[in-house]
Chains A and B, each alone.
Chain A
Amino acid sequence: MLLVLPMLVLPALAGAQGLELSGVVTLMHGDHRVDAGFGVERATGLLAGGAARLGFRGIALALFGETGHLTTVQGSGGIDRDISQVGATAQFTPLPWLVLESGVTLRSFGTVIARQRWTLVCAGAEARVPLSGETIWAVGRAHLLPVVSVNGLPNAATAFDAGTGLAYRRGRLLFDLTYALERYDFPWQGSTRRSEQLSTLALRGGVALRLR
């Protein structure tokens, strides 16, 4: 539903002036940790991807996707996995420094023995405070994830993400460096409780174009 609404609005917006289209390339380091009752499994690796964002007068729609391979850290259990995710986020900027956003992410963890699909729905906010000169912004964000649907697992009991970072924009060029941590605590099942965590340090770079 969150994806459909912006799609319907988009054609109308495209004819209007003041549109801003941006695209970035993403390179991130991911650290995925899972404790399913057998000790902490940890896998890290690089992910690459990109994102596109179309904004119009304080309303924006962002689409993103990343993929990469996470390698099991020596000494921890588990097996290597591929991670891929795509998502869409609708954003609303009520104040110059505040962005309210909500979105959906479809994520897949694939191993040699199985593939696990995640559907995440998030809602939260991002604060962007400019440094003097307004080319660099201090960024902080937090989201609640009320829907975390994983095949083979119950819906997560507690799920959120939070992060901070620095963003740079000069002319058409965009760069940002952000750190984010996603935490998922699943309900107790018997004597065990599954917990997962994905932390990322992402470097993004791209361009923004104003469409007239």
Chain B
Amino acid sequence: MSRRAAALGLAFLLIVPTSTAAQAGTAELLQQARQLYERLEIERALPLLRQVVSPEWPLEVTNAQRVEAYKYLGAALVLRGKPDSAVLYFRAALERDAFADLDPAQFTPAQQGAFAVARRRTFSVGVKPIPETRLDPSTGQLSITVVTTHAAKLRATLRALGGTDYVVLYDGPNDGAHEIAWNGLGPDGRLAPPGRYDLTVVGRSQLTAQADSLRMYLDLQHDVEPFEDTLPALGTMDLLPERHAESTAGNDLLKTLGVAVGALAVGSLLANDRLGTGDEGRIMAGAATVGGIAAFSYRRAHRAIPANVALNDARRAVRDAANSGVRMRNADRVARTMLLITPASAPVARP
């Protein structure tokens, strides 16, 4: 384990300086070419710039460096009176970065004219990388910068990965850079649920038959206060029985018959044999029997226990009120949810 870690560490130490040195080498060469260009030593600048964009250039070249090199190649060729070749290099720059542009303070009108021609002939769309953003959907919006190299119909959509519904962020004409916004809501008009999202931008040129599209992935997380739990549903242990059991009527009858039997037993078994007894015991037994039959019949017909029903209703009402409060407080928390948006893929990935 430690040997493997050591090997990995060594590889990292070997690779990282190489990669950095390579980039530094390319940047140095590019800087050198720019200085030559600015001193109008075009003939010396051109080979250096060609070196940077050459497939045989051994060092690593970032996309930005390549775009820069193409821009200076185009600008240099304009100065050498080769506008058609210049346009080709400008197009190469635009194809790699639709945001590429020439600063009017640094480049001549002729160079800008050639760049404008390249813009008209090239069609590409671009999206600026979205930085990690913390968004309050109640007050803020996520700003997304898109660009087309020339007049086009542009459509930007956002869709949860794996979902079918999408939000249309923009659908209309576009020429150049354009800010579009997302308010954090999903297709259903509710706060977009956490997950990975696919931002797709499709453009169709209005000058040529070209189309271009790109896609990038965003991760969305909710930053919300922890929710309160609602009270659990009342179980059988929490509620009183609302109906008497089937056997209750029979039990009532048995109890009253017990009174009747008791009355007869007292009158016959406990009385003095010599003295005998009157009819009081039998009357009591009769009354208890009649009462028992009445109680039996009543209970058979009326099994509900109104007091328990009322108590259970009161308990349910208390629980419902508590849960309603919890739901309201949770809804407040949801309303205060912040969205954490982080890019999930390399800045722009063409489909």
Contact = CB atoms under 8 A, between A and B. Distances in A.
Interface stretch (A47-55, A80-88, A114-122, A136-144): A136-144
Interface string A191-211: 000011101110000000000
Contact of A164 (B263, B271, B278): B263
B266 A166 contact: no
Interface in B241-271: 244, 248-249, 251-252, 255-256, 258-260, 262-263, 266-267, 270-271
A177 interface: yes
B244 A164 contact: no
Contact of A132 (B248, B260, B267, B284): B248
Interface residues on A, range: 20 to 34
Q: Do most interface residues of chain B lie in helix, strand or loop, or is the interface mixed? A: helix
Interface string A46-68: 00000000000000000000000
Nearest to A73: B278
B283 interface: yes
A26 interface: no
A31 B287 contact: no
Given A129-B255, A131-B256, A132-B248, A165 B272 contact: no
A178 B283 CA distance: 10
A175 B172 CA distance: 89
Contacts of A44: 278
B287 to A, nearest CB: 6
Contacts of B287: 166, 177
14 contacts: A29-B280, A31-B280, A35-B272, A132-B248, A132-B249, A132-B251, A133-B299, A133-B305, A136-B291, A136-B295, A164-B258, A166-B287, A181-B281, A199-B281
A138 B278 contact: no
B266 to A, nearest CB: 5
A124 interface: no
B276 interface: yes
Nearest to B306: A133
Given A164-B262, A195-B275, A179 B283 contact: yes
Contacts of A140: 258-259, 262
Nearest to B262: A164
B276 A199 contact: no
Given A163-B266, A179-B263, A195 B274 contact: yes
A40 B275 CA distance: 6
B328 to A, nearest CB: 38
Given A132-B248, A163-B263, A199-B277, 19 more contacts: A29-B280, A33-B276, A34-B275, A35-B272, A40-B275, A131-B255, A139-B259, A162-B266, A164-B259, A164-B263, A166-B259, A166-B287, A179-B266, A181-B267, A181-B270, A197-B272, A199-B278, A200-B280, A201-B283
Contacts of A31: 277-278, 280
Interface string A136-154: 1011100000000000000
Contacts of A200: 280
